[in-house]
Amino acid sequence: MAGCFNTALDFLILNVLTLALGFPVLVANSVSVLFGISISYALQHFFVFRFPYRISWKKFLEFFVITGFSSLILQNVIIYLFELLFDTKFGNSLLLVPDAEGRHFLAINIAKFSAVLIGLVWNFLMYKFVVFRRPQKDAAEPEGPTGDAEPMPE
């Protein structure tokens, strides 16, 4: 559910920025992704992985690096390649849609959807095995109150 909400928010921001405000697609995607990353961290932390430790800048930066790679780099490259390989120019080649606005909307969202699917697998694996990995049972005791390994109170 968290991923659906976050992805819907990402698509909404992308579409508002490109279609309503006229932002270039890659700029709009970068902005929508930055909002999405911030919301996603909290949702993943509390609801998806039920991570037992407090939110910390260290964990957020790990999350941001992993998600930033898939969302900012992979998505933008895929969207750019989609435009080059399929000659979409975000609206000029999807001839089945009757008007230019419809073609523009469809092209942006097909490219974004393709990019999101590829990033989905990357993100989940990296969240599970890197960001929200639970400490080993025999690992050292959690850090003190200043560290990020302090368990959340019950």
Q: How confident is the model at residue 9 (pLDDT cuts 50, 70, 90)?
A: very high
Q: How confident is the model at residue 143 (pLDDT cuts 50, 70, 90)?
A: low
- This prediction's pTM: 0.66
Query: Does the residue 140 lie in any domain?
Result: no
Question: What is the per-residue pLDDT across 61-70, written as a single tens digit (0 to 9) for each?
Answer: 988 888 888 8
Query: Does the residue 53 lie in any domain?
Result: yes
- Dihedrals φ, ψ of 151, to 5°? -60, 150
Query: Does the residue 153 lie in any domain?
Result: no
**Pick the residue with more confidence: 69 or 148?**
69
Query: Does the residue 149 lie in any domain?
Result: no
Query: Does the residue 70 lie in any domain?
Result: yes
Query: Does the residue 142 lie in any domain?
Result: no
Q: How confident is the model at residue 31 (pLDDT cuts 50, 70, 90)?
A: very high
State how many domains the chain has. Answer: 1
Query: Does the residue 31 lie in any domain?
Result: yes
**Pick the residue with more confidence: 6 or 151?**
6
Q: What is the pLDDT of residue 154?
A: 54
The answer on pLDDT for 25 being more than 80 is yes
Q: What is the pLDDT of residue 124?
A: 83
What region does 142 belong to: left with phi over 0, alpha with psi -120 to 50, or beta?
Answer: beta
Query: Does the residue 72 lie in any domain?
Result: yes
Using DSSP, state whether 53 is helix, strand or coil.
strand
Boundaries of domain holding 76: 2-131
